[in-house]
């Protein structure tokens, strides 16, 4: 359950961090956690809420008890809430000044359109009129929704279950998670240009193509294609766009795995280049996307990089739990890397070429361009696709 289920959750969690209980102030709470060599954190992504306690294992029970008190006994403070929303308004204004954030929002608009997880936020009016008690009630009620508990540490299963049963008090019957808002992925049927203004000497540009939903059978081919075509400094994209043609400060291209198995893959090519090199960069990118250079040596390097990476990578500590959840959600019954390790060396240059021709070649793209239109060749850009200019309010949603 995240902000897609309740857009106020993120604000509720931020508010909680500044609040005390009926017994302790916020400063005293932080002092108590410091004494225990423990810490807590609450946050929300679009699809999950995270309620975390970590630190010295011998103090786990005390830390959990203190944290449960915070969740169940947080006290509202009108002054703190006013300061919080002023901070939020300031952050939102600052976001509109940041080049990377502007580009991220532009790409988000290309994927979802005007309504997206990023624009699903409390409006200025909603924040100003919201009763802070409503936010506190959200954190108090959080444990009464269905949830998973993940534990990493030295305690045995019996010990951790006993502590949770004694300290983590929930309703007898947990509530189902409220249904999430469904945001629609926009179809890409023809080349289109989305242009957002930003006063800078270089543009940020990406090419996006929406593809099929997740298919674990193509994962070895996808990952090898990414490593070969756009994965690192030895890849085709980097060598062609930066080294051979000198068109970019940075350039990469990946066929991206979706966040959920029911979501689509996206082919994403990205480049940061000078304003006057925009058209040349687009033409060069289109050329290598549609007519991918073939090199057995580059493929051998890509394979070696992938195999070496898997051999040397260690998933440790609590990351084991997150990896397990991710793999099972995508239908894997073993570590998903095993599928890559067992199959990559059997793939040939013809397999990489076949993947490119099926999923990338001659596909329609949305061209996301963040730059100063006064210094861009809009006449030539129109030949690539219909141009739509977007305002900051459109891409940010406020």
The answer to whether 299 touches 349, Cβ cutoff 8 Å, is yes
Query: 10 Å Cβ neighbour count for 66?
Result: 20
Predicted confidence at residue 275, as pLDDT, reads 93
Q: Which residues contact 349 (CB under 8 A, 6 or more apart)?
A: 294, 295, 296, 299
Predicted confidence at residue 210, as pLDDT, reads 98
The answer to whether 203 touches 370, Cβ cutoff 8 Å, is yes
pLDDT in tens, 69-102: 999 999 999 999 999 999 999 999 999 999 999 9
By DSSP bridging, strand 192-197 and strand 366-371 are parallel
Q: Where are the domains of the chain?
A: 9-167, 192-396
SS3 state of residue 212: strand
Does the domain at residues 192-396 carry the CATH identifier 3.40.47.10? no
Q: How many angstroms separate the CA atoms of 369 and 372, rounded?
A: 9
CATH code, residues 9-167: 3.30.830.10
Predicted confidence at residue 247, as pLDDT, reads 76
Predicted confidence at residue 239, as pLDDT, reads 85
* Below-50 pLDDT ranges, the chain: none
The two domains 9-167 and 192-396 share their CATH topology (first three levels equal)? yes
SS3 state of residue 313: coil
The answer to whether 18 touches 72, Cβ cutoff 8 Å, is no
Q: How many angstroms separate the CA atoms of 361 and 37, rounded?
A: 55
Predicted confidence at residue 50, as pLDDT, reads 96
Q: How many angstroms separate the CA atoms of 331 and 163, rounded?
A: 32
DSSP state of 386: E
Q: Does this model's pTM top 0.75?
A: yes
Q: How many angstroms separate the CA atoms of 211 and 192, rounded?
A: 16
């Amino acid at each position: 359950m995240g902000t897609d289920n309740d857009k106020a959750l993120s604000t509720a969690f931020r508010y909680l961090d500044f609040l005390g209980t009926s017994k302790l102030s916020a400063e005293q709470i932080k002092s108590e956690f410091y004494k225990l060599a423990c810490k807590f954190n609450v946050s929300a992504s679009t699809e999950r809420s995270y309620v975390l306690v970590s630190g010295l294992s011998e103090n786990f029970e005390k830390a959990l008890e203190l944290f449960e008190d915070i969740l169940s006994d947080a006290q509202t403070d009108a002054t703190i809430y006013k300061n919080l929303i002023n901070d939020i308004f300031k952050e939102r204004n600052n976001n509109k000044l940041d080049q990377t954030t502007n580009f991220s929002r532009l790409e988000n608009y290309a994927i979802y359109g005007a309504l997206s997880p990023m624009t699903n936020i409390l409006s200025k009016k909603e924040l100003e009129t919201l009763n802070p008690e409503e936010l506190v009630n959200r954190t108090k009620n959080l444990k009464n929704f269905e949830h998973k508990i993940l534990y990493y540490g030295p305690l045995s299963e019996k010990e951790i279950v006993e502590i949770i049963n004694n300290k983590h008090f929930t309703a007898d019957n947990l509530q189902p998670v409220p249904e999430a808002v469904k945001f629609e992925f926009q179809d890409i049927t023809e080349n289109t240009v989305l242009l957002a203004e930003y006063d800078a000497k270089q543009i940020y540009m990406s090419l996006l193509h929406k593809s099929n939903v997740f298919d674990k059978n193509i994962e070895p081919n996808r990952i090898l294609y990414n490593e070969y075509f756009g994965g690192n400094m030895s890849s085709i994209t980097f060598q062609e766009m930066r080294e051979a043609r000198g068109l970019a400060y940075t350039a990469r291209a990946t066929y991206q795995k979706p966040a959920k198995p029911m979501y689509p893959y996206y082919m994403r090519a990205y480049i940061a280049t000078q304003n006057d090199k925009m058209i040349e960069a687009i033409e060069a990118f289109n050329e290598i996307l549609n007519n991918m250079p073939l090199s057995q040596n580059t493929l051998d390097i890509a394979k070696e990089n992938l195999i070496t990476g898997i051999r040397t990578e260690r998933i440790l500590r609590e990351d084991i739990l997150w990896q397990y959840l991710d793999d099972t959600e995508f239908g894997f019954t073993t570590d998903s890397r095993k599928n890559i390790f067992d199959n990559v060396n059997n793939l040939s240059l013809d397999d990489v070429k076949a993947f490119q021709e099926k999923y990338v070649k001659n596909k329609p793209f949305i061209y996301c361009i963040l730059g100063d239109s006064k210094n861009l060749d809009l006449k030539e850009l129109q030949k690539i696709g219909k141009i739509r200019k977007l305002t900051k309010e459109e891409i940010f949603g406020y």
